[in-house]
Homo-oligomer: A and B are copies of this chain.
Amino acid sequence: MNIAIVGLGIIGGSYAKALKSHTNHKVIGINRTESVAKKALEEGAIDEIGSPEKLSNADVVIVCLYPQACVDFLRENGKYIRSDAIVTDACGIKREICPQMKELSEEFGYTYVGSHPMAGKEKNGFAVSDADLFMGASFIITPCEAPHEDVNKLASLAREIGFGTVKITNPEEHDRMIAFTSQLPHVLACAYVLSPCCPNHNGFSAGSYRDVSRVANINSKLWSELFLENKEPLMLELEELNKNLSAIYDAIKNEDREALCELLEKAHEVKQALGE
């Protein structure tokens, strides 16, 4: 197949490298900043530099831009895409994006299948993209009424490039779960490192500092968009967290050893039940 990747950042770049490393598909890279596309070509991450007008050569189009930029790109360039092509995105939010993407697919005649690769790093850009970024990770698909055949085609492609799990869901469940699994840890990490103690942590810290603070090295523009477009589920998770933090805080304040031990034991049991 000819696979066009729009946006060669960490995710698009990793898709390109993974396709070149693990499959024989032809990879066409489209990137606004030409120097990045040239670098990707030099490094062998793509087979050729494309342009929106040449999207008609693509069997699959993977749009790896910020959420609203995905919609804008397809609104402008969907007309170049063949009606037998599959278009997917890599957006971390789905309720806001999928209906718009679906509408554009109906307008232009191609098939849209939403997806979200559950992988990333705390750094951004083509320079940190990695052929093995998706190895063993989960590939979430929101079919949005696309034909089974096309959903399966995308799922197979995901497995070919190393994903370990394919999870089929709907935009609502996706956004509710992502608020917990991904957005909340990012909020937490940011709030955590804002403590006045943080700049002096060296010599006093170990793995638990390192792990909880890792994703605070955040892309503030991307994540504020993701947070705001998933406002309600994220607010619910923050309220739930606040409730649980307050319960622990109160037990410490009241020196209620039994209540404190019980709360920690409950957390321990959740992890044990998950085999983690």
Q: Across the interface, do B216 and A270 meet the contact criterion of CB distance under 8 Å? A: yes
Bound Cα distance A119, B193 (Å):
20
- Taken together, the copies of this chain in the complex come to 2
Bound Cα distance A190, B223 (Å):
24
Q: Across the interface, do A182 and B194 meet the contact criterion of CB distance under 8 Å? A: no
- Provide the residues of chain B in CB contact with A214, threshold 8 Å: 207-208, 211, 276
Residues facing B in A148-199 (CB within 8 A) are 165, 167, 169, 174, 176-182, 184-199
A118 at the interface (CB under 8 A from B): yes
Contacting residue for A191 out of B138, B196, B207, B244, CB 8 A: B244
The binding surface of chain A is classed by DSSP as helix
Among A9-17, A31-39, A69-77, A234-242, the one that faces the other chain is A234-242
Contact A120/B206 with A228-B252, A235-B253, A271-B193 known, Cβ cut-off 8 Å = yes
Contacting residue for A185 out of B182, B191, B199, B212, CB 8 A: B212
Contact A205/B260 with A180-B197, A241-B195, A245-B191 known, Cβ cut-off 8 Å = no
Contacting residue for A207 out of B120, B195, B216, B244, CB 8 A: B120
A227 at the interface (CB under 8 A from B): yes
- Provide the residues of chain B in CB contact with A188, threshold 8 Å: 188, 192, 212, 245
Closest to A178 in B: B204
Q: Across the interface, do B252 and A231 meet the contact criterion of CB distance under 8 Å? A: yes
Q: Across the interface, do B140 and A191 meet the contact criterion of CB distance under 8 Å? A: no
Q: Across the interface, do B138 and A204 meet the contact criterion of CB distance under 8 Å? A: yes
Contacting residue for A181 out of B196, B201, B260, CB 8 A: B201
A261 at the interface (CB under 8 A from B): yes
Bound Cα distance A244, B221 (Å):
19
Interface residues in A, total, Cβ within 8 A: 90
Q: Mark A245-276, 1 if CB is under 8 A from B, else 0.
A: 10111001101010011111111101111101
Closest to A139 in B: B203
A137 at the interface (CB under 8 A from B): yes
Closest beta carbon of chain B to A234's beta carbon, Å: 6
Q: Across the interface, do A264 and B223 meet the contact criterion of CB distance under 8 Å? A: yes
Contacting residue for A220 out of B182, B249, B265, B270, CB 8 A: B265
The 7 listed contacts between A and B (C-beta, < 8 Å) are: A120-B206, A138-B205, A167-B203, A194-B263, A194-B266, A211-B211, A231-B253
Spell out A's residues near B (CB within 8 Å).
118-120, 137-138, 140, 165, 167, 169, 174, 176-182, 184-209, 211-221, 223-224, 227-228, 231, 234-235, 237-238, 240-242, 244-245, 247-249, 252-253, 255, 257, 260-268, 270-274, 276
